[in-house]
C-alpha cells in the first residue's frame, strides 16, 4: 500500500505554512523516489500544532507537528512514512489528549477526510441523515429537531426546530433556507473550519432543512473575509450538483433543492438575520424591525429559515443517530455539543467540541493550557465583540446558555478570547464602542449616535476629565442602548463596556496620560 | 492585486449584463466589478442603476454601505490587518503601529509608490493563530513586526 500523507488545506493551517510543507513533501518524495499519496484534509482544529502532518499507518493515523518545510527532509530520514520517531512526532492523532477529551458530533469528519471527496464523505457516514429524512414526513423531521433540543448556534440560542415549524406551517409557493455564514465575531472560526473542512455536511443539513419545511431553494451568505471558504464551498456545491444531491431531484427523490453561495461585503451587521436578508436582496444591510419574523416574511418576503452554519451542520447527525442521542449530551436547556473556539492569548488555541457543562476555567486550563505569554489570565471575553469581559473570579461559570446569561454574559457562537494581565479594560471598553460605531447600520439612533458618544465619553474618562460625572453618563448611555436599540449590535455593545466597568473599575481610575492632562 | 484591468465602461456593461438576472444581483455585480477593475468606478453606479432599474441614489447607498467596495484603484498589493479582539490579545495594536510606520500610510490609504493599500479588517477567522493579516486574499498567522516585514518584502 502506498503511504498516505495528510497535510491540511484549511486557511489557518495555510496561514502558518501548510502549503509550503505540502510542496516540500512532494519534492522530497520525488527526490527520494518514495511513492506516497498526498491528501489535503481539513484541520483537526489543534491550531498550535499546525501545520499538522499525519501519516496513515496500519495502527491508525500518526501525527507530526508543527511541521515547517525545513523539517521535511529530516522527517523522511526518520522514516515518518512508517510512523517513525522524530522530535515532532506526536503519536497517534486520536490519542492527543486535546482531541481525545472532545465529543465530536458536528465536527466528526473535519480534519479526517478530503473535504471535496464525495467518496470520503459517503464512506464516513455521509448522506445517512438525508436518507432518513427522505423516508420521513416533513413534520416528523421537524419534530425530530425539536426533540433533539438543538438551539441556534449563531449566538441567539433560539430553538431550531421551533423556527422550522413556523416555516413549515406558513403557506407559500416559495420558501427559502438561508445559511448565515457571516461569522464576524472575533474569536470564532468554527463556521470557517467546517466550510473548508467538511462542506458536504452543511450541504446535507441545508437539504434536510429544505425537505422539512418545504423549501426548494437555499442561499448561503459567506463573509468576504473568508475567500478560501467561499471557493471551497462553491466547489462542494458544484460536486453535489453533479452527483445529484442538489438540483431538480434530490438523490432521485423527485424533490428539488437548489443551493447558491453569495459573498458578503465586509459588514459585521450582516450577521444579524434581517440585515443579511436585506443584503441578499441587494440592498444596504440595514436591519428590519421584527415582526414580521423571517420565518413568516423573510427573503423576498417569503417564509425563510435563517440558521447558522453549525446549527445546520448538526442536523445530519441528529437525523442519522436520532434526537435522543443528541439530546443526551449537555445539561439543562443546553443540549448536545457546542464547538468552542479557544483564541487570543492562549497556549493551545483551537476548536473544542464538547457537551455543554464544562466550566470556562476548565476549558481555558485543561484545553488551552493557560496563556501563550505565560502571564496570568486577567480577562476572558466570551461570545464575540458583544460579549462580556469576565475576570478570573467568574471562571467557574458553566458553559451553558443560561449560566452565562445569569452572570450578564453570553455564550454566543462559542468564541473564547483570553487576555493576560497586560490588557487595559478601559481601552477594550473604548474599542467595543468604536467597533459599534464603525459597524452600526444606522437604522436606529441609540446605536448610530450612542456608540460615537460612547467613544467620546470613555475618552474623557481615560483622560481624567470629570471622571465621576462621565462614568454616570456612560452608565446612562449604556442603559439607553440596551433598552432602545433595534437589534443586538447596539443592544449588546453595552455588555463588554459594563462588564469592564463592573469587574475592572481600577482600569478606569488610572492617572491621566500626561499628554492629555496637560491639555 | 492579481492582474486588474483599467476601467472600461463597455467591459463593465458586459459584466453587469451577465449577472443582472440573479435575484438580488447588486452585490454579486459589485464584487465582479471590483474583482475585474480592482475598485468600483464612479461611472459604474449609473450603469448598475440603469440595468437594475434602481435609482442612482440607491446604488450609491449600497456601494457606500459596505466596507469592501473601493471607490479608488488600490495599490498593487492589498494588505488587510485584523484589528479585532483576539488579535489585540496577541499584540495587534503594536503590529498596527509598526505597519503604519513601515508603510507610511494609515488605514484606507495607498503608498505613494502605489505598491500597497492598507485596509482594516475585523476578524479573519484565524483567532487561534493571531495576529492575522491577509495579503491579496492569502491569510497569514502569528504575524509579528519581523514576519510582517518579510511578507511585504517577498515577491507577490
DSSP summary character for residue A58: T
Q: Distance (Å) from the C-alpha of residue A476 to the closest C-alpha of chain B?
A: 25
Q: Do B129 and A187 touch (CB under 8 A)?
A: no
B84 vs A11, A186, A224: nearest CB: A186
Cβ–Cβ contact A185 with B under 8 A = yes
In this predicted model, what pLDDT tens digit does every residue of B94-123 receive, in sequence order? 999 999 999 999 999 999 999 999 999 999
B27 vs A227, A279, A419: nearest CB: A279
> Helix A309-321 and helix A199-213: axis angle, to 10°?
80
* Homologous superfamily in CATH for domain B77-153: Glutaredoxin (3.40.30.10)
Instruction: Report the alpha-carbon distance of residue B118 to residue B79 in Å, rounded.
Output: 5
Number of cross-chain residue pairs from A and B with Cβ atoms under 8 Å apart: 157
What is the secondary structure of A332-362 as a DSSP string? TTEESEEEEEEEES-TT-EEEEEEBTBBHHH
The secondary structure of A88-109, three-state, reads CEEEEHHHCHHHHCCCCCCCCC
User: Among the residues of A328-444, which ranges form H helices?
Assistant: 360-362, 401-406, 425-439
Q: Distance (Å) from the C-alpha of residue B4 to the closest C-alpha of chain A?
A: 18
Q: Distance (Å) from the C-alpha of residue B139 to the closest C-alpha of chain A?
A: 5
Q: Do A225 and B26 touch (CB under 8 A)?
A: no
A267 vs B31, B67, B140: nearest CB: B67
Kindly report whether the peptide bond that precedes residue A292 is cis, defined as omega within 30 degrees of 0: yes
Q: Who contacts A402 (Cβ-Cβ below 8 Å, separation ≥6)?
A: A332, A333, A334
Are A113 and A198 in contact, with CB atoms under 8 Å apart?
yes
Q: What is the mean pLDDT of residues B8-25?
A: 97
Q: Distance (Å) from the C-alpha of residue B10 to the closest C-alpha of chain A?
A: 23
Q: Do A345 and B90 touch (CB under 8 A)?
A: yes
pLDDT at A517: 42
> In A, which residues are within 8 Å of B140 by CB distance?
15
Residues 135-154 (B) with a CB less than 8 A from some CB of A? 137-142
Looking only at the bridges linking them, the beta strands covering A350-355 and A258-263 are: unpaired
> In A, which residues are within 8 Å of B35 by CB distance?
none
Q: Do B122 and A186 touch (CB under 8 A)?
A: yes
Cβ–Cβ contact A385 with B under 8 A = yes
Q: pTM higher than 0.90, yes or no? A: yes
A285 vs B65, B85, B88: nearest CB: B65
Per-residue pLDDT 10s for chain A (519 aa) are 789 999 999 999 999 999 999 999 999 999 999 999 999 999 999 999 999 999 999 999 999 999 999 999 999 999 999 999 999 999 999 999 999 999 999 999 999 999 999 999 999 999 999 999 999 999 999 999 999 999 999 888 899 999 999 999 999 999 999 999 999 999 999 999 999 999 999 999 999 999 999 999 999 999 999 999 999 999 999 999 999 999 999 999 999 999 999 999 999 999 999 999 999 999 999 999 999 999 999 999 999 999 999 999 999 999 999 999 999 998 888 899 999 999 999 999 999 999 988 999 999 999 999 999 999 999 999 999 999 999 999 999 999 899 999 999 999 999 999 999 999 999 999 999 999 999 999 999 999 999 999 999 999 999 999 999 999 999 999 999 999 999 999 999 999 999 999 999 999 998 876 544 433
Instruction: Report the alpha-carbon distance of residue A267 to residue A224 in Å, rounded.
Output: 9
φ, ψ for residue A46, nearest 5 deg: -100, 75
Instruction: Report the alpha-carbon distance of residue A425 to residue A499 in Å, rounded.
Output: 9
Instruction: Report the alpha-carbon distance of residue B139 to residue B137 in Å, rounded.
Output: 6
pLDDT at A516: 44
Looking only at the bridges linking them, the beta strands covering B109-110 and A415-420 are: unpaired
Pick one of 3.20.20.70, 1.10.1040.10, 2.60.120.10, 3.10.20.600 as the CATH number of A330-420.
3.10.20.600
Cβ–Cβ contact A262 with B under 8 A = yes
* ipTM value: 0.97
Taken in order A231, A234, A240, A243, is the CA torsion positive or negative? negative
Q: Who contacts A372 (Cβ-Cβ below 8 Å, separation ≥6)?
A: A345, A346, A347, A349, B90
Are A89 and A164 in contact, with CB atoms under 8 Å apart?
no
Which sequence spans correspond to the domains of chain B? 9-65, 77-153
In this predicted model, what pLDDT tens digit does every residue of A261-275 receive, in sequence order? 999 999 999 999 999
Q: Do B86 and A192 touch (CB under 8 A)?
A: no
3-class DSSP assignment, residue B151? helix
pLDDT at A519: 38
DSSP summary character for residue A247: B
Which sequence spans correspond to the domains of chain A? 4-100, 118-327, 330-420, 425-517
pLDDT at A333: 86
A74: left (phi over 0), alpha (psi -120 to 50) or beta: alpha
> A118-327 has which CATH code?
3.40.50.11540
Are B36 and B13 in contact, with CB atoms under 8 Å apart?
no
DSSP summary character for residue A183: -
Instruction: Report the alpha-carbon distance of residue A259 to residue A373 in Å, rounded.
Output: 44
Cβ–Cβ contact B32 with A under 8 A = no
Cβ–Cβ contact A414 with B under 8 A = no
A15 vs B85, B123, B126: nearest CB: B126
Element (H, E) at A138: helix A138-148
B85 vs A229, A344, A351: nearest CB: A344
A227 vs B67, B85, B137: nearest CB: B137
Pick one of 1.20.1440.230, 3.20.20.70, 1.10.1750.10, 2.60.98.20 as the CATH number of A425-517.
1.20.1440.230
Looking only at the bridges linking them, the beta strands covering B109-110 and B116-121 are: antiparallel
Instruction: Report the alpha-carbon distance of residue A347 to residue A342 in Å, rounded.
Output: 9
> A4-100 has which CATH code?
3.40.30.10
pLDDT at A514: 55
Instruction: Report the alpha-carbon distance of residue A349 to residue A363 in Å, rounded.
Output: 11
Q: Do A431 and B23 touch (CB under 8 A)?
A: no
Q: Do A268 and B66 touch (CB under 8 A)?
A: no
Amino acid at each position: 500500500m502506498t503511504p498516505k500523507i495528510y497535510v491540511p488545506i484549511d486557511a489557518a493551517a495555510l496561514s502558518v505554512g501548510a502549503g509550503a510543507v505540502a510542496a516540500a513533501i512532494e519534492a522530497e518524495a520525488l527526490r527520494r523516489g518514495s511513492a506516497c499519496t498526498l491528501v489535503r484534509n481539513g484541520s483537526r482544529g489543534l491550531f498550535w500544532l499546525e501545520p499538522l502532518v499525519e501519516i496513515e499507518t496500519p495502527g491508525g493515523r500518526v501525527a507530526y507537528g508543527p511541521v515547517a518545510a525545513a523539517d521535511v527532509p529530516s522527517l523522511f530520514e526518520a522514516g515518518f512514512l512508517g510512523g517513525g520517531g522524530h522530535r515532532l512526532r506526536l503519536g497517534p492523532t486520536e490519542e492527543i489528549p486535546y482531541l481525545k477529551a472532545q465529543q465530536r458530533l458536528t465536527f466528526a469528519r473535519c480534519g479526517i477526510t478530503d473535504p471535496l471527496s464525495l467518496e470520503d464523505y459517503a464512506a464516513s457516514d455521509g448522506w445517512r441523515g438525508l436518507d432518513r429524512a427522505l423516508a420521513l414526513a416533513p413534520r416528523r423531521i421537524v419534530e425530530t429537531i425539536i426533540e433533539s433540543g438543538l438551539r441556534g448556534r449563531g449566538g441567539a440560542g433560539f430553538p431550531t426546530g421551533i423556527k422550522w415549524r413556523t416555516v413549515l406551517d406558513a403557506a407559500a409557493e416559495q420558501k427559502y433556507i438561508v445559511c448565515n455564514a457571516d461569522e464576524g465575531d472575533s474569536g470564532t472560526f468554527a463556521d470557517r473550519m467546517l466550510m473548508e473542512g467538511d462542506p458536504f455536511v452543511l450541504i446535507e443539513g441545508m437539504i434536510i432543512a429544505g425537505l422539512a419545511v418545504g423549501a426548494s431553494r437555499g442561499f448561503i451568505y459567506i463573509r468576504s473575509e473568508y475567500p478560501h471558504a467561499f471557493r471551497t464551498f462553491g466547489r462542494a456545491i458544484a460536486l453535489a450538483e453533479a452527483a445529484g444531491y442538489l438540483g431538480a431531484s434530490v438523490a432521485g427523490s423527485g424533490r428539488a433543492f437548489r443551493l447558491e453561495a453569495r459573498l458578503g461585503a465586509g459588514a459585521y451587521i450582516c450577521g444579524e438575520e434581517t440585515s443579511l436578508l436585506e443584503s441578499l436582496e441587494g440592498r444596504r444591510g440595514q436591519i428590519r424591525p421584527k415582526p414580521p419574523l423571517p420565518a413568516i416574511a423573510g427573503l423576498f418576503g417569503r417564509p425563510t429559515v435563517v440558521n447558522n452554519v453549525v446549527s445546520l451542520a448538526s442536523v445530519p447527525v441528529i437525523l442519522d443517530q436520532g434526537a435522543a442521542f443528541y439530546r443526551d449530551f449537555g445539561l439543562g436547556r443546553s443540549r448536545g455539543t457546542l464547538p468552542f473556539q479557544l483564541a487570543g492569548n492562549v497556549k493551545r488555541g483551537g476548536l473544542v467540541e464538547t457537551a455543554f457543562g464544562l466550566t470556562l476555567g476548565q476549558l481555558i486550563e485543561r484545553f488551552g493550557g493557560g496563556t501563550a505569554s505565560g502571564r496570568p489570565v486577567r480577562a476572558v471575553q466570551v461570545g464575540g465583540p458583544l460579549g462580556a469581559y469576565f475576570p478570573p473570579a467568574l471562571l467557574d461559570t458553566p458553559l451553558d446558555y443560561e449560566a452565562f446569561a445569569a452572570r450578564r454574559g453570553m455564550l454566543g457562537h462559542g468564541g473564547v478570547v483570553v487576555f493576560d494581565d497586560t490588557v487595559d479594560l478601559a481601552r477594550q471598553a473604548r474599542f467595543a464602542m468604536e467597533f459599534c460605531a464603525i459597524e452600526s447600520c444606522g437604522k436606529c439612533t441609540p446605536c448610530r449616535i450612542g456608540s460615537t458618544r460612547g467613544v467620546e465619553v470613555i475618552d474623557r474618562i481615560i483622560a481624567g476629565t470629570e471622571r465621576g460625572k462621565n462614568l454616570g453618563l456612560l452608565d446612562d448611555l449604556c442603559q439607553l442602548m440596551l433598552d432602545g436599540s433595534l437589534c443586538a449590535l447596539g443592544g449588546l455593545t453595552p455588555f463588554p463596556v459594563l462588564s469592564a466597568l463592573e469587574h475592572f473599575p481600577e482600569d478606569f481610575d488610572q492617572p491621566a496620560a500626561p499628554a492629555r492632562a496637560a491639555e | 492585486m492579481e492582474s486588474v484591468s483599467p476601467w472600461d465602461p463597455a467591459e463593465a456593461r458586459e459584466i453587469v449584463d451577465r449577472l443582472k438576472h440573479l435575484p438580488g444581483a447588486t452585490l454579486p455585480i459589485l464584487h465582479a466589478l471590483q474583482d475585474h477593475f480592482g475598485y468600483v468606478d464612479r461611472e459604474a453606479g449609473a450603469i448598475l442603476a440603469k440595468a437594475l432599474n434602481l435609482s442612482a441614489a440607491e446604488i450609491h447607498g449600497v456601494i457606500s454601505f459596505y466596507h469592501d467596495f473601493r471607490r479608488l484603484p488600490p495599490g498593487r498589493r492589498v494588505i488587510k490587518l485584523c484589528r479585532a479582539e483576539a488579535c489585540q490579545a496577541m499584540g495587534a495594536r503594536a503590529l498596527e503601529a509598526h505597519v503604519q510606520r513601515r508603510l507610511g500610510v494609515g488605514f484606507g490609504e495607498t503608498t505613494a509608490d502605489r505598491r500597497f493599500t492598507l485596509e482594516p479588517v475585523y476578524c479573519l477567522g484565524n483567532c487561534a493563530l493571531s495576529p492575522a493579516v491577509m495579503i491579496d486574499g492569502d491569510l497569514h498567522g502569528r504575524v509579528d513586526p519581523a514576519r510582517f516585514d518579510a511578507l511585504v518584502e517577498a515577491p507577490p
